[in-house]
Amino acid sequence: MPLFLIFGQVSIIMAVIDNRGRLHGKIGNHVYRTVGDIHIVQAKPGRVRQTLSTKESALEFGLVSNCGRILRELYSSFTCYSDGRLLNRMNAALLKCLRDTDKPRGERDLHDGNPEHLDGLQFNVNSPLTEMLPVRPKCSMEDGVIRVHLPSFQSRQLQQPRYSKYAVLRLMIVAISFRDGYYEYLDYKDIEVKQGTLVSEQEWISEVELPAGSLVLVSASLHYFGMQDVNGERLALNSLDCSPAEIIGTYKIVEKEQNEPPAEVSITSDSHPERHRLINYRGKEILDEIARKRKRDKKYQASLVRTKPQKVENENVSLGMKPLIKGKILYKKE
């Protein structure tokens, strides 16, 4: 039996009563439905008004998530397989990087923060490098030169998947600049680990020039190989269950001081043939969106007006000027 609400001469069916006397449908802000033998009444939530601070935090997290997607794609070919929780771990680490700066929210990006919070990030928690490799490669940077020290170890100490004949430990240096819109694979070194051998202590010194204004990431990853196929190539054995990879060093390269602004250089020019253009980076758009929301927010603009005179007074005091006298001024009569 239908339930009617009459508005003038128009009747609108808002809900329906079935032959068992149960309501189905919507009446006002309440929705009636039946799941099995349970009768459920749900109320629609009211409109939630988000504050400017909440909107800024959401947009800033979007910036972090956007940068995380780019980094995962950058390493996808070398880390082989990452677990399904890498997204959350990388976003959490990048958020710490972004917030580790004196710049306020809405005026900062990853180049302003501290990239060291990415150190130790595991790309696959099912096989962390700290457990698969018996020693720890130690990364450092001195005078713009990357150094990686690897202690000696026996190959039998290395954790390997089934049917693995030998492994390769790859050390790789990557530079990325979100502001200039490029990334570049700078240098790498492969260390073979054969069965029944001793991997001697060694130090890798990379003499490649680190791009000014970029973020430099150093990674270590293990790649396992089995028997040779019909073409003579060894079969890769990395999988979701076993694919160790870790970021072992992160550095922020300071931009060179220049009296004149540097001329813009095309990323795809002959001077940088190895650079790849970032695709769908939205950092600048997100910061511009935060600025637009601040302009439209009346409370934020009012707070700027209230703090502006105080800032002017503080600037006068710092310059040695006497502060302005407020209130009524009495003039002495002669």
pLDDT tens-digit series, residues 62-105: 999 999 999 999 998 877 789 989 999 999 999 999 999 999 99
Segment 97-126 shows an average pLDDT of 95
Segment 139-164 shows an average pLDDT of 94
Percent pLDDT > 90 in the chain is 58
pLDDT for 7 beyond 50: no
pLDDT for 236 beyond 80: yes
Segment 256-280 shows an average pLDDT of 66
Question: What is the total residue count of the chain?
Answer: 334
pLDDT for 263 beyond 70: no
CB-based contact 138:148 (threshold 8 Å): yes
Q: What is the pLDDT of residue 5?
A: 47
- 101 vs 9 pLDDT, higher one: 101
Q: What is the pLDDT of residue 319?
A: 54
pLDDT for 311 beyond 70: no
CA dihedral in degrees (132, 135, 141, 146; nearest 10)?
-70
CB-based contact 83:125 (threshold 8 Å): yes
Q: For residue 313, what pLDDT band results from cuts at 50, 70 and 90? A: low
- 166 vs 326 pLDDT, higher one: 166
Segment 305-322 shows an average pLDDT of 59
Q: What is the pLDDT of residue 41?
A: 80
pLDDT for 325 beyond 70: no
pLDDT for 317 beyond 60: no
CB atoms within 10 A of CB 28: 10
pLDDT for 308 beyond 90: no
Q: For residue 315, what pLDDT band results from cuts at 50, 70 and 90? A: low
CB-based contact 250:216 (threshold 8 Å): yes
β-partners of residue 204 are 148
Give phi and psi for 199, each to the nearest 5: -90, 110
pLDDT for 175 beyond 70: yes
pLDDT tens-digit series, residues 187-204: 999 999 999 999 999 999
Q: What is the pLDDT of residue 27?
A: 77
Domain boundaries, the chain: 2-43, 115-278
pLDDT for 112 beyond 90: yes
